[in-house]
Amino acid sequence: MTAPQQRQRGGGTSADRLGRLLNLVPYLLARPGIEVAEAAADFHITERQLREDLELLWVCGLPGYGPGDLIDMALDGDRVTITYDAGIDRPLRLNPDEALALVVALRMLAETPGIGSRDAIERALAKIETAAGDLADAPVAVRLPAGTERLDAIRGIVERRHALRMTYYTAARDETADRVVDPMRVLMVGNRAYLEAWCRRAEAVRLFRLDRIDAWTELDEPAAPPARAVPHDVTAGVFHPDAKLPLVTARVGRGSRWITEYYPCEEVRRDGDRWLVSMRVTDLGWAQRLLLGLGPDVTVLGPPELIERIRDQAAAALDRYAAP
């Protein structure tokens, strides 16, 4: 499963590396013949990572990607010099199509509830629209899918720093329960919105999917997360598989292969005309409902407790059909 930002070996996330690569060319242009060790220290990475970045730059450049289009450099022992920058040292000039695409993306970002630095987004959008001239009046209206009213309402409660009583559906246990929480922030992970809050029932920080909040009431009392309430790191997604969690293994057919794209998997390999899939789960009850729902297209191979639970539930369902 592809995470929003893949962790790069020794160099942070893919977004970190992209920013570093964009800065690396003008940095090297201003310091011809700089030692690799010195450049690596300035970027706070290892020499090995810098050399890997340089190898990547060698295949970057202008459309056409032939001789004279790609970034070129001279690597003499431990010293590096940029010999062709492919125009990356010049200010970026957007054509109308590129500018319009950027305006649409920024307008979408500005309309997304829970996004931080909204002021910075709006300032950047204003600058681009001013520079682009006619694009400022372009008939482009950005609207997010239905459900933004709920996002706006929850985000308002977070901004007012009030406690929240809500009715929440927990998919892992297939139950709905009332909770009182101390909201901390609203965030977007992938294409889903979450409320991060201190749950007084669980006495821990929890992430609540906003589309699973059935009802809510803003309380008069202020939100008061305790000092030990630490926000989650969602850089690599919401779910972080742990070796201590149960490992579910199943043989899936063509019609159920979508689960390998939708859920994080530890291993996916071919087994004849089927796929052998292994994934960590936080709750075997959730895995039971998922796999039963896939029907005969899936054969569960482990763990034994899950196999027994699925067999018992399937047998109980068959008994109901047999009853007059």
Say yes or no to pLDDT of 246 above 50.
yes
pLDDT value of residue 111: 63
Q: Indicate whether this model's pTM tops 0.75.
A: no
pLDDT tens track for 285-320: 888 888 888 888 899 999 999 999 999 988 888 888
Say yes or no to pLDDT of 161 above 60.
yes
**How would you class 322 by CB atoms within 10 Å of its CB: exposed for 0-12, middle for 13-18, buried for 19 or more?**
exposed
Question: In whole numbers, what is the pLDDT of the chain averaged over residues?
Answer: 80
Say yes or no to pLDDT of 117 above 70.
no
Positive or negative, the Cα torsion across 141, 142, 148, 152? negative
Give the rounded distance of the alpha carbon of 138 from its chain centre. Answer: 31
pLDDT value of residue 175: 83
Instruction: Tell how strand 267-271 and strand 247-252 pair up.
Output: unpaired
Confidence band of 192 (pLDDT split at 50, 70, 90): confident
pLDDT value of residue 8: 45
Say yes or no to pLDDT of 209 above 60.
yes
Mean pLDDT of the region 227-250: 80
Task: Lowest mean pLDDT of 65-69, 170-174, 203-207, name the range.
Answer: 65-69
Confidence band of 140 (pLDDT split at 50, 70, 90): low
DSSP string, 204-248: EEEEEEGGGEEEEEEEEEEP---TT------TT-S----TTSPEE
Closest alpha carbon to 103 in 140, 58, 55, 48: 140
Closest alpha carbon to 223 in 175, 158, 269: 158
pLDDT tens track for 9-67: 444 555 567 778 878 888 888 889 999 999 999 988 999 898 888 888 877 877 665 66
Closest alpha carbon to 299 in 270, 266, 274, 279: 274
Mean pLDDT of the region 190-203: 87
Q: Which residues pair with 188 in a beta bridge?
A: 193
| Residues 140, 107 contacting (CB under 8 angstroms) | yes
| Residues 238, 265 contacting (CB under 8 angstroms) | no
Confidence band of 6 (pLDDT split at 50, 70, 90): very low
pLDDT value of residue 301: 93
Nearest-angstrom CA–CA distance, 259 and 290: 10
Q: Which 8-state DSSP code applies to residue 87?
A: T
| Residues 8, 15 contacting (CB under 8 angstroms) | no
Confidence band of 101 (pLDDT split at 50, 70, 90): confident
Structure tokens at 70: 């790609």
Give the rounded distance of the alpha carbon of 131 from its chain centre. Answer: 32
Closest alpha carbon to 129 in 106, 154, 148: 106
Say yes or no to pLDDT of 218 above 90.
yes
pLDDT value of residue 12: 55
Q: How many CB atoms lie within 10 A of CB 85?
A: 17
Cβ contacts of 71 within 8 Å, gap of 6 or more: 25, 57, 58, 60, 61, 82, 84, 85, 86, 88
pLDDT value of residue 115: 55
**How would you class 24 by CB atoms within 10 Å of its CB: exposed for 0-12, middle for 13-18, buried for 19 or more?**
buried
pLDDT value of residue 1: 37
